[in-house]
């Protein structure tokens, strides 16, 4: 679907495109009718059903996006640090800057210099939390958050949490997690 939906790619340090585009609700809302069209070519008799499903999905995503934007609107600081670059599109969409990640896009662990840079960024920008993901090891994230003296919070890119039932729920879950982690 990425080839059929225009989006501005986020690139890693070596030029690779960050593949986590599904965490940007605008991209997903554009992908829904493209997917419905592709499915309609495979099952022409279901065209109206696919189109109706895409329209309902787009409406639900728009509402979850509106609620998520409200939750994230007044956060300070407007910079975040993540364990892995999985949420770069999500944060860009909501006007938050990813100030650093523990792992790079290829999944490589940082050396001592990179860890020192992350700690300096966290302290200088007064970033209150480090965001990890449930499918990745907790130990290094826990150690970095502990060394920085900040909260360790969980974001879920894949819907592992029992609280997430669908894509709009995924957006809201993650926005609430960020809001809670940045609460005084």
What are the sequence ranges of the domains in the chain?
A: 17-184
Radius of gyration of the chain (CA): 18
Closest C-alpha among 122, 100, 73, 141 to residue 12: 100
Q: How many CB atoms lie within 10 A of CB 77?
A: 13
Q: Which helix (H) or strand (E) holds 93?
A: helix 88-93
Please state the length of the chain. 184
Q: Tell me what pLDDT residue 2 has.
A: 58
Q: Report pLDDT digits (tens) over 135-184.
A: 999 999 999 999 999 999 999 999 999 989 999 999 999 999 999 999 97
Mean pLDDT across the stretch 107-135?
94
**Cα gap 180→93, rounded to integer Å:** 19
pTM across the whole model: 0.93
Q: How far is CA 108 from the centre of its chain?
A: 19
Question: Is the confidence at residue 121, as pLDDT, over 70?
Answer: yes
**Cα gap 173→159, rounded to integer Å:** 9
Sheet holding 97-101, edge to edge: 97-101, 79-82, 129-132, 151-154
CATH topology classification for 17-184: Rossmann fold (3.40.50)
Q: Report pLDDT digits (tens) over 40-58.
A: 999 999 999 999 999 999 9
Q: Establish how many alpha carbons lie within 13 A of residue 178's alpha carbon, considering only the half-sphere containing its beta carbon.
A: 31
């Amino acid at each position: 679907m990425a080839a059929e939906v225009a989006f501005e790619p986020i690139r890693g340090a070596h030029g690779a495109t960050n593949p986590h585009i599904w965490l940007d609700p605008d991209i997903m809302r554009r992908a829904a009718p493209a997917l419905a069209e592709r499915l309609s070519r495979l099952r022409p008799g279901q065209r109206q059903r696919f189109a109706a499903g895409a329209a309902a999905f787009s409406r639900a995503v728009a509402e979850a996006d509106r609620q998520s934007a409200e939750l994230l609107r007044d956060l300070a600081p407007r910079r975040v640090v993540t364990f892995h670059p999985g949420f770069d599109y999500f944060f860009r969409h909501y006007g938050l800057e990813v100030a650093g990640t523990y792992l790079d896009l290829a999944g490589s662990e940082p050396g001592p210099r990179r860890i020192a840079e992350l700690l300096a960024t966290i302290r200088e920008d007064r970033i209150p939390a480090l965001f990890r993901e449930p499918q990745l090891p907790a130990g290094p994230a826990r150690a970095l958050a502990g060394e920085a003296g900040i909260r360790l919070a969980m974001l879920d890119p894949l819907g592992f949490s029992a609280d997430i039932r669908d894509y709009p729920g995924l957006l809201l879950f993650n926005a609430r997690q960020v809001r809670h982690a940045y609460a005084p």
